Structure 1
Amino acid sequence: MPGSRASQRLDLQRVWQLRAAVRGRRSARERLARLRRRGPNIVQCALAAGAAWAIAHLVLGHATPFFAPVAAVVALGQSYEGRLRRTGEVVVGVALGIAVGDLLASWLGTGVWQLAVVVGLSMALAVLLDAGQLLVTQAGVQASIVTSLAAPASAGLDRWVDALVGGAVALVVAALLPTAPLLRPRRLAAAATGEVALLLAEAAAAAKHADGERAQAALDRARAGQRAFEDLAPAAQEALEGLRLSPFRHRHRPGLEVVRDLAVPLDRAMRNVRVLLRRVAVAEQRDEPLPPELWTLLEELATGARLLSEAVDAGRRDDDLLDDLVDLGRRAGVLGSRRLGLSAAVCVGQLRSTVVDLLQVGGMSTEQALAAVPPVD
């Protein structure tokens, strides 16, 4: 018995170690994926910071232009959205904080209570000007620097010029937007469509073999795999925002707008597939047979979604594929017109709804897709 308990403890230890290793590998992959997503922006921030310091120090002769790189990094931020606004708020906030700080410091002197008064008044003035949070913060930061360092009067103008240099460099760097962030939305859309294809294939296999556990496992995967769907619209919007500052990339705008609009039908497709998987699992639990025609249609739809994913990734419209999907929706309608059990009828309905969603992903308008797959009589 003691030996048996020791063996059990060792087995439990191995299980815990294995689980910890799996979690560690998953965490490492997620961290690397985040680094890949933000890598281009990090490079932009690094280059802008170095360039801003060099211009302010070497060209303008400022001894310690610390705010030039700070302004550049803050203006670029972690995303492309709102860069013009952020740059303006940084520059105006610096100017406001320096002006109030210099004025009050020359009148009140420096000290603890003077610092509190100057920072409070600077931020209050920014709020009264209906400024954004970044501008209010920069006003307070600059006022505190002016008061605590008691810099010479000329330093105030130098700091404002440094902020202007940093903001200008940020906008120039943003104008040289690399292609990678522009390609990311399309890749996310293709990955989301590919995920729908995989889940449809799992639904087909689960329905064919009356495997409720397989359907439930696929449903769990669908719930956990929402990242590509959730990231698509923000990624497309960020890229579109970046194009406002990049005159060299305007040709990408129409394609990005199309990809941005795919977020809605893709989200609907995923929701429909989740309902379908849930119903396949319920059918097995209740011993409700699913017709063989349903398996075939699901397999064909999975293949169509996979081909559609490739078309989305390539940025092309495949009219032949759309015709195949329309025909699949028609055949599903014929199946739905038969007398079916509740689970089978629900599965057919979700399949047809998914066809409508995928037709929109393929390039049809909502009206065209609905007309192509009319309701079952």
Structure 2
Amino acid sequence: MGKQTSRTTAYLKEIDNSLQNRALRLRRSFSSILQASIAAGLAFWLAHDVAGHERPFFAPMSSIIILGLSSGNRLRRAVELSIGCSIGVGLGDLIIMGIGTGNWQMTLAIFVSLVVATFLSSSQLLINQVAVGSILIATIIPPGSAAGPERMFDAVIGCTVGIVVMALIPHSPLAGGRREVAKVLRLASSVLKDVAVALPRRDHESIFAALKQVRGSQGAINAMLEAAKSAKEDTRVSPLLWASKRRVRSFARILAPVDNVIRNTRVLARRAQVLSEDGDEVSQEQICIIEELAEITDHLADVYAQPEQNQEALEIPETVKRLRQLAARAGISIATDVLSAQVILAQTRSIIVDLLQVCGMSRESAVAALVPTSHSPAFPPEVVTDLKED
């Protein structure tokens, strides 16, 4: 009976977590849902009631396609979509009028359309729309009818409305990007924790599992970069977000250091696996530094998980202080004469520099915070406080 109750409790908790995640996803996507709904309705009204098109299905479709793009190039994609529609319908019209409709005629029309589109542009969106235009002419829209030119005009209406709605009902420009940064930092923190726990036990299997985890991080990094591109575009398009341009530029500056954090963590984990397989050891001080780095990285992830920047002014200075203290401890003397231990130290130092840059310091000042390992360091130790402008 007790086991049944325990399973029921676990099942109910799982349902509760699932509902919470679904509600959170809906809340985060609500502005996108609102944008798409308003744009589709407005595009249909303009094409149907104002322009007088009988079935303007491509007007709302184009607006949703444009709003659904997240690459940060929606203005260019809107032009490509409109041009692709025009070329596709025009080519389809010419070809189908000459050879008629049928199986092989459709195949030939699509082949010719794709050849022409690929010759004219490398944009996959434009190429796809050319093919779609030819398919419509060969199947639904009669060759030579007014529906072809109308579809071109509908595409322009839909794309234009999508851009206008994006400008008038903008997203919060940094919310998505900050969440993606938090994901990347949390992944790095998790791997560093696993390495710090496994090193004293020479548990190379646990380190290998952590390494597999961090090797799958490219998707999170790409999402972070795409979110930043979209934020830049939103602030260019929407007058309501022009005041946020400085914050978006400041955010974009930390993306390369965040990427470097995960890359250097990957190298550290790989070398830790080699060291454990060889049966070698690192000093307790190295393990302590890696543990504290994991804690600091997790703390920064918490800071960036917040939707706004208010918390950073309070948290970043203390984080910089902790990282400086680690930088002063990470000297060559704490590593043994084993090559793998020295490589782990080098990567630890690199991660400290990366995290200081995430906190707003320049690379030169971040490197200067490290205890020197060279007789002639490029950036000698100095007292620096040059946090970049938020």
TM over 0.5: yes
Decide whether aligned partners of structure 1 residues 295 and 95 sit closer, same or farther in structure 2, where only a CA change above 3 A counts: closer
Unaligned runs of 5+ in 1: 1-24
Name the residue aligned to 1:368: 365
Q: Which moved more, 1:173-182 or 1:356-365?
A: 173-182
Counterpart of 1:322 (choices 310, 315, 320) is: 320
Give per-residue Cα distances to partners, 1:64-110, cap 9 Å, x unaligned: 2223223323333432532222222333444455667778888x696
Residues of 1 paired with 2:116 and 2:163: CA distance? 27
Give per-residue Cα distances to partners, 1:162-196, cap 9 Å, x unaligned: 33321221112222454356411111112222222
Whether the aligned pair in 2 keeps the contact of 1:56 and 1:65 (CA below 8 Å) is yes
Q: Secondary structure at the match of 1:337?
A: helix
1:67 aligns with 2:67: no
Give per-residue Cα distances to partners, 1:192-212, cap 9 Å, x unaligned: 222222322222222344444
Bigger Rg, structure 1 or 2: 1
Within 5 Å, give how 1:180-195 maps onto structure 2. Answer: 182-195=174-187
The one-letter amino acid paired with 1:322 is V
Counterpart of 1:259 (choices 251, 265, 271) is: 251
CA shift, 1:123, in A, is 6.9
Unaligned runs of 5+ in 2: 1-14, 375-390
Decide whether aligned partners of structure 1 residues 131 and 267 sit closer, same or farther in structure 2, where only a CA change above 3 A counts: closer
1:57 aligns with 2:54: no
CA shift, 1:363, in A, is 0.9
Give per-residue Cα distances to partners, 1:227-253, cap 9 Å, x unaligned: 323321122113323333222223333
CA root-mean-square deviation: 3.9
Whether the aligned pair in 1 keeps the contact of 2:46 and 2:157 (CA below 8 Å) is yes
CA shift, 1:356, in A, is 1.0
Q: TM-score, with normalisation over the residues of structure 1?
A: 0.74
Q: Which moved more, 1:111-120 or 1:243-252?
A: 111-120
CA shift, 1:58, in A, is 2.9
Q: TM-score, with normalisation over the residues of structure 2?
A: 0.72
Decide whether aligned partners of structure 1 residues 245 and 216 sit closer, same or farther in structure 2, where only a CA change above 3 A counts: same
The one-letter amino acid paired with 1:355 is I
Q: Which moved more, 1:41-50 or 1:245-254?
A: 41-50
Q: Secondary structure at the match of 2:55?
A: coil
Give per-residue Cα distances to partners, 1:284-336, cap 9 Å, x unaligned: 44443432222322222222222322333453251232122122111111xx2
Whether the aligned pair in 2 keeps the contact of 1:182 and 1:252 (CA below 8 Å) is no
- Residue correspondences, number: 347
The one-letter amino acid paired with 2:43 is A
Q: Which moved more, 1:164-173 or 1:354-363?
A: 164-173
The one-letter amino acid paired with 1:74 is I
Q: Which moved more, 1:264-273 or 1:275-284?
A: 275-284
Whether the aligned pair in 2 keeps the contact of 1:67 and 1:163 (CA below 8 Å) is yes
The one-letter amino acid paired with 1:91 is S
Whether the aligned pair in 2 keeps the contact of 1:197 and 1:301 (CA below 8 Å) is yes
Residues of 2 paired with 1:137 and 1:75: CA distance? 14
Residues of 2 paired with 1:179 and 1:51: CA distance? 19
Residues of 2 paired with 1:198 and 1:65: CA distance? 51
Residues of 2 paired with 1:137 and 1:354: CA distance? 43
Residues of 1 paired with 2:91 and 2:278: CA distance? 74
Decide whether aligned partners of structure 1 residues 226 and 100 sit closer, same or farther in structure 2, where only a CA change above 3 A counts: closer
Residues of 1 paired with 2:244 and 2:291: CA distance? 35
Within 5 Å, give how 1:172-211 maps onto structure 2. Answer: 172-179=164-171, 182-211=174-203
Name the residue aligned to 1:355: 352
Decide whether aligned partners of structure 1 residues 46 and 292 sit closer, same or farther in structure 2, where only a CA change above 3 A counts: same
Residues of 2 paired with 1:339 and 1:147: CA distance? 71
The one-letter amino acid paired with 1:261 is R
Name the residue aligned to 2:343: 346
Counterpart of 2:67 (choices 59, 70, 76) is: 76
Whether the aligned pair in 2 keeps the contact of 1:119 and 1:144 (CA below 8 Å) is yes
CA shift, 1:359, in A, is 0.9
The one-letter amino acid paired with 1:340 is T
1:272 aligns with 2:264: yes
Name the residue aligned to 1:22: none
Decide whether aligned partners of structure 1 residues 276 and 245 sit closer, same or farther in structure 2, where only a CA change above 3 A counts: same
1:87 aligns with 2:84: no
